[in-house]
Structure 1
């Protein structure tokens, strides 16, 4: 019988309430073992760092480690690989703190099906979550994430030209590329993709994107390609053209009401179509697709 996977995550300066909701979500999915590490860029205050470390301990999780300094593009991969090595044999679940995975079946069944069919990875597709108005606001724990960000759509790849594909589960001996988008030499079952509800578009994200562009452009943070910086620029340009909000009326983005309690209607066919046809935009181009 398949056992629960170890959850592997490198966490930055998120809100303690988001981290608590994230832990509750994955425990509800059946995750019992969390291997997380914090990494804080230099602009994060000591009070914010200590607050997050205290919050995670209150949740009954002891962080594996805490580091600080530049967030080079390779930083997340290096820290994730170290956590996976410590996790040891078995299946690893890979998720950022703003990613809430939603599966078409219980997690143990998903893993059992992958093993039965000979797949050593399970895939997912980003579903970007935003407010009903498109404004980049905060949220309250009383209302919860679904109420604050009720719309789900395809912002990442259709507007930002980013890779929406995820490797969400991988066997311990399968290497996963930067950003958890691919596992070289392994393909997930495109008919069984999970929805990765992406709660990135919250209050403070625009400052984060501006900081990312500044540090990558200056070389303070090292990048492997300009893709991440260009994606940030596209979002900033978009909200600049639309009065500081995401244009929820753009039909390409396909925003509609979704929730964490039920898979989106028609998700498996929709996700398969995107996952199997998506191709990266050539660097330097910024064409609408």
Structure 2
């Protein structure tokens, strides 16, 4: 689990209102994690249960589990939205309208770019049930690309036969090294040409503890041995937080509330 339980309620409400028809959720949590039952209760309040519950996590296993869920539950004509719990897609038009236009034009996937959402002054504040996350975190900056030095482009939505190279859904599998696959993904003519904003709500008061837990390989997370590149990104953020006490980005800006085109 990537953050506190309040984030899950915001996540489910957001994608319900966007018009998501079915949730294929995996709950990564050790049996002793006190947040696990809270997460299950929140899902149940939305009429949802996880398709898979497991304590073991890394980006390779994440990709394998995605593939298994898609193979079991999805039809060739379906679209899958890919979103970690802290990623909120902000589509330019109603989601069913956009994906129908992609079908008509022959596009097989939709790309997006992370827009890291921050509280005032980059402070790491608690996430609350209300108001909306956009009101709680009304600023944005390029934390993922500039401070974490990670990939900030991802695939937001794709047809079931689109094959990914890694579990973050940052790049498709073209048979090359990962950096080349990333570059090719964002040049591929099969993708919808415009980038969707991905509002990224990762920067709250649980951040440092989550990073240190991941770096230590606790909570069933084995990225510490399985994916050293990802771990280096987490270490950069940890060093930044210890130096500044908050997110000290150099491109901090007020962000307008996005238009979500929620379906009623």
| TM-score interval, normalised by the smaller of the two chains | 0.7 to 0.9
- The correspondence of residues 236-275 of structure 1 with structure 2, limited to 5 A, is 236-242=238-244, 244-248=245-249, 250=250, 253-261=251-259
From 75, 84, 103, the counterpart of 1:96: 84
Within a 5 Å distance, the mapping from 1:117-266 to structure 2 comes to 117-178=105-166, 179-185=168-174, 187=188, 189=191, 191-215=193-217, 221=223, 223-242=225-244, 244-248=245-249, 250=250, 253-261=251-259
> For 2:26, which of 13, 19, 37 is the aligned residue?
37
Runs of 4+ in 1 over 6 A off after TM superposition: none
Q: Distance in 1 between matches of 2:97 and 2:88?
A: 18
Cα distance between partner residues in 2 of 1:14 and 1:241: 22
Select the residue among 92, 109, 112 that pairs with 2:100.
112
Secondary structure of the residue that 2:59 maps to in structure 1? coil
Q: Report the CA distance shift for 1:227/1:35 in structure 2 as closer, same or farther (over 3 A).
A: same
Cα offset for 1:189? Answer: 4.0
Q: Deviations over 1:179-210 (max 9, x none)?
A: 11012356364642110000011121111111
Aligned equivalents of 1:109, 1:152: Cα separation in 2? 28
> CA 1:220/1:226 → structure 2, altered by over 3 Å: closer, same or farther?
closer
* C-alpha distance in structure 1 between counterparts of 2:146 and 2:117, whole Å: 14
CA contact (8 A) 1:73 1:222 kept: no
Q: Distance in 1 between matches of 2:256 and 2:232?
A: 28
Matches within 5 A, 1:63-74: 63-69=50-56, 71-74=57-60
TM-score (norm 1): 0.77
Which residues of 2 match residues 15-54 of structure 1 at below 5 A? 15-40=4-29, 42=30, 45-54=32-41
Contact 2:165 2:173 in 1 (8 A): yes
Closer, same or farther: CA 16–112 of 1 in aligned 2, 3 Å? same
Uncovered stretches (5+) of structure 2, i.e. residues with no partner: 175-184
- Kindly indicate whether the alpha-carbon contact (under 8 Å) linking 2:162 and 2:172 is maintained by their aligned counterparts in 1: yes
Supply the distance in 2 between the matched residues of 1:246 and 1:13 (Cα, whole angstroms).
18
| CA distance in structure 2 between the aligned counterparts of 1:199 and 1:170, rounded to whole angstroms | 22
Aligned to 1:86: 72
> Could you state the TM-score of these two structures normalised by the residue count of structure 2?
0.83
Q: 1:102·1:197 contact (CA, 8 Å) conserved in 2?
A: yes
Aligned partners of 2:92 and 2:259 also within 8 Å: no
**58, 75, 78: which is aligned to 2:45?**
58
In structure 1, what is the Cα distance between the partners aligned to 2:3 and 2:32?
A: 12
Q: How far did residue 46 of structure 1 move?
A: 4.4
- Kindly indicate whether the alpha-carbon contact (under 8 Å) linking 1:74 and 1:223 is maintained by their aligned counterparts in 2: no
Change (3 A) 1:222 1:213: closer
